[in-house]
Amino acid sequence: LEAKEEFTHKTLAMDVMRPRRNDPPLTVLTQDGLKVEDVETLISETTYSGFPVVVSRESQRLVGFVLKRDLVISIENARKRQDGIVSSSDIYFTEHIPPQPPSSPSTLKLRKVMDLSPFTVTDHTAMEIVVDIFRKLGLRQCLVTHNGRLLGIITKKDILKHMAQVVNQDPDSILFN
Ligand code: ADP
């Protein structure tokens, strides 16, 4: 991220985050209630580098962030090496796993591959600050919340694209220093 391009206070995280107003909602995983086949389908039907993990779809409360490549590796390894992992195995990102009925397939525990404290900003955070955080912490992505509910995601590329647009459309809105 180029240091010379700065945002004015006018641009907020909500202006840069995905999904945009008419886009389909953010693709998230829930901390429980998903099966291996559900996650494999999601992996093959999307191109995102990662997925936020939430307590439930209703609450949209953030639990963590998991990279697609870590999901892929974990599931592949478990299918190969862990007894009883099949398509219908339950996946848990929770700390505690409820007791399973004796005949049910093995569960796959994925809490360890999840980032438990992904960086978050609120939708009203000035992009100037977001860019600063990206630079200083070397972030690849950052999650956006509103009143504690997960709302969206901003990747480094989203910021670069937005900067390029601002440069093209409205030179006066950029401060060069
Ligand atoms: P990049 O921005 O580097 O291409 P991704 O492939 O992860 O990274 O994301 C592509 C686009 O999709 C970005 O605009 C990003 O904001 C958005 N995005 C990333 N993850 C998700 C997700 N889980 N659900 C919905 N949109 C996402």
pLDDT tens for each residue of 31-56: 999 999 999 999 999 999 999 999 99
Higher pLDDT, 176 or 25: 25
pLDDT of residue 174: 52
pLDDT of residue 120: 97
Give the pLDDT band of residue 177 (cuts 50, 70, 90): very low
Q: Specify whether the CB–CB gap between 12 and 127 falls below 8 A.
A: yes
Give the span between the Cα atoms of 55 and 62, in whole angstroms: 6
Q: In degrees, to the nearest 5, what angle opens at C-alpha 63 toward C-alphas 60 and 68?
A: 100
pLDDT tens-digit readout, 145-157: 999 999 999 999 9
Which residue, by CA, sits nearest to atom 18 of ligand 1?
Answer: 48
| pTM, rounded to two decimals | 0.90
Query: Does the interface predicted TM-score (ipTM) exceed 0.90?
Result: yes
Ligand 1 centroid from CA 49, angstroms: 7
Q: What residue's CA is closest to ligand 1, atom 4?
A: 157
Give the distance (Å) from ligand 1 centre to CA of residue 164: 18
Task: Select from 139, 157, 159 the residue to mutate for testing ligand 1; criterion: most ligand atoms less than 8 Å from CB.
Answer: 157
| Residues near 77 by beta carbon (within 8 Å), at least 6 away in sequence | none
Residue 175: pLDDT over 60: no
| Architecture category of domain 5-176 in CATH | Roll (3.10)
How many Cα atoms are found within 13 Å in the side-chain-facing hemisphere of 70? 12
Ligand 1 atom, smallest distance to 140 CA: 3
| pLDDT higher than threshold 80 for residue 167 | no
pLDDT class for 72, splitting at 50, 70, 90?
very high
Res 176: pLDDT = 46
Rounded to the nearest integer, the mean pLDDT of the chain is 91
For ligand 1, atom 5, name the residue with the nearest CA: 48
C-alpha pair distances (Å), 97 with each of 12, 93, 100: 39, 9, 8
- Asked if residue 135 lies in contact with residue 127, where contact means CB atoms within 8 angstroms, the answer is no
Pocket of ligand 1 (CB under 6 A): 18-19, 26-27, 47-49, 51, 153, 155, 157-158
Each residue's pLDDT tens digit, 121-147 = 999 999 999 999 999 999 999 999 999
